[in-house]
Amino acid sequence: MEKEKLVDLYRQMVRVRQFETKVSELFAQGKIPGFVHLYIGEEATAVGACANLRPDDYITSTHRGHGHCLAKGGDMKLMMAELFGKKTGYCKGKGGSMHIADMDVGILGANGIVGGGLGIAPGAGLSAKLRGTDQVTACFFGDGASNQTTFHEGINIASIWRLPVIFICENNQYGISLHQSKHQRVADVADRAVAYGIPGVVVDGNDVMAVYEAVGEAVKRARAGEGPTLIEAKTYRWHGHFEGDPTVYRSEKELAEWKERCPILRFGKHLVEMGVATEQELDTIKAEVDNEVEEAVRFAEESPLPVPEEALEDIYA
């Protein structure tokens, strides 16, 4: 991979990290209402996966969707404004964190229903197939969603019709408070691919290059008409299920161990060791991203609120 692309992977992960860190602060200050589910710790998965996608490819996302949205090319300002409930936000303040979408860059929506996107993604795949394009759809979901109806029905229908869909399970170890070992008998969600006659791949979700390569293979298969792949990225969310979650169900030790495997630190170190970038260059990226995030916050804070009556618009086309 050329230097620019490697450095861009780093930058994209930093963008997700800094955005989420700022959202956490703003939520604690009461500036962001509702629920927010943060992606801190999982950045390598969204960034590695989306680096394989074109602007006209699709993704379906989850309640923990900010990382997917940024990685797929979503506009940080419009995202932040939406989190603030402002008129200038992606959804004019009607969606919030769990419903950010951008049809122009193929983001078919975050989703407040666990497993919701697993139902929709095959449809985007079928649409591409019927229209005769080689667009692919990446469907992100968590380990918790792998026990929903949509997981089985969605992957099954995509497999029988050989739809160009990449199912990416972000196994962050917990379905809300329930550890994976308590919510399913298998240790690897990817094992379930056997049931659909498709490849199942386990990948280190904190290794952006590993994710990039695994998803790249799957995208190649999908574009070639060879059907879907199930990829399981093993990762971990540093924050709770939602901001304010006391996380009584996990230990400090476990969290500390996963922080050791921080996808950004790891990849940064790798870039320096490979001579792709210097520490100084990486620091510059962080500073630039800080500015970008500050600008997004400024945009959100200065934006007007919607007019109440707008609540009755956009219900029907």
Partner 1 sequence: MRQLSYSEAIREALRLEMRRDSNVFILGEDVGQFGGCFGVTGDLWKEFGEDRVRDTPISETAIIGTAVGAAVTGMRPVAEIMFCDFLTVCMDQLVNQAAKMRYMFGGKAVVPLTVRTPVGGGISAAAQHSQSLEAWFTHVPGLKVVMPSTAADAKGLLTAAIRDDNPVMFFEHKLLYPVKGDVPEGEYVIPLGQADVKREGSDVTVIATSIMVNRALEAAEALAAEGISLEVIDPRTLVPLDEETILASVEKTGRVVIAHEAVTRSGFGAEIAAIIAEKALDYLDAPIKRVGSKPAPIPFSGVLEQFVLPGSQDIIAAVKELV
Distance CA 233, CA 46 (A): 10
Q: How far is CA 115 from CA 68, 102, 155, 168, 187, in A?
A: 15, 19, 11, 12, 19
What x/- string results for residues 204 through 243 when contact with partner 1 is judged by CB under 8 A?
----------------------------------------
Selecting among 249, 250, 266, 270, the annotated active-site residue is 249
Q: b or e along 189-204 (b: 16 or more beta carbons within 10 Å of the residue's beta carbon)?
A: bbebbeebebbbbbbb
Closer CB to partner 1, residue 151 or residue 238? 151
Q: Residues 68-80, buried b or exposed e (16+ Cβ, 10 A)?
A: bbbbbbbbbbbbb
Active site residue 261: no
Q: Which is nearer to partner 1, 92 or 270 (CB)?
A: 92
* Per-residue exposure over 253-263, b if at least 16 CB sit within 10 Å of its own CB, e if not: eebeebeebbb
- What does DSSP say about strands 58-60 and 137-142: parallel, antiparallel, or unpaired? parallel
Pseudo-torsion of CA 245, 248, 254, 258, nearest 10°?
0
* Contact flag: residue 313 with partner 1 (CB under 8 A): yes
CB of 291 to partner 1, least distance (A): 27
35 vs 249 by CB, closer to partner 1: 35
Could you say which of 11, 31, 94, 266 contacts partner 1 (CB under 8 A)? 94
> Which positions from 102 through 161 interact with partner 1, judged by CB under 8 A?
102-103, 108-109, 111-113, 116, 118-128, 130-131, 137, 149-150, 153-154, 156-157, 160-161
CB crowding 116-134: b at 16 or more within 10 Å, else e: bbbbbbbbbbbebbeeeee
User: In the complex with partner 1, which residue's Cβ is closer, 127 or 247?
Assistant: 127
Active-site residue flag, 11? no
If 0-12 CB within 10 Å is exposed, 13-18 middle and 19+ buried, where does residue 24 land?
Answer: middle
**89 in contact with partner 1 (CB under 8 A):** yes
Residue 237 annotated in active site: yes
* Single residue of 51, 71, 91, 168 touching partner 1 by CB under 8 A: 91
- Taking CB under 8 A as the rule, which mask of x and - marks residues 43-82 in contact with partner 1? ---------------x-x----------------------
Site membership for partner 1, residue 300 (CB under 8 A): no
Cα three-residue angle 191-173-21, rounded to 5 degrees: 135
Q: What is the DSSP letter of 138?
A: E
Given the rule CB under 8 A, which residues bind partner 1? 58, 60, 89-95, 99, 101-103, 108-109, 111-113, 116, 118-128, 130-131, 137, 149-150, 153-154, 156-157, 160-161, 313-317
Catalytic residue list: 237, 241, 249
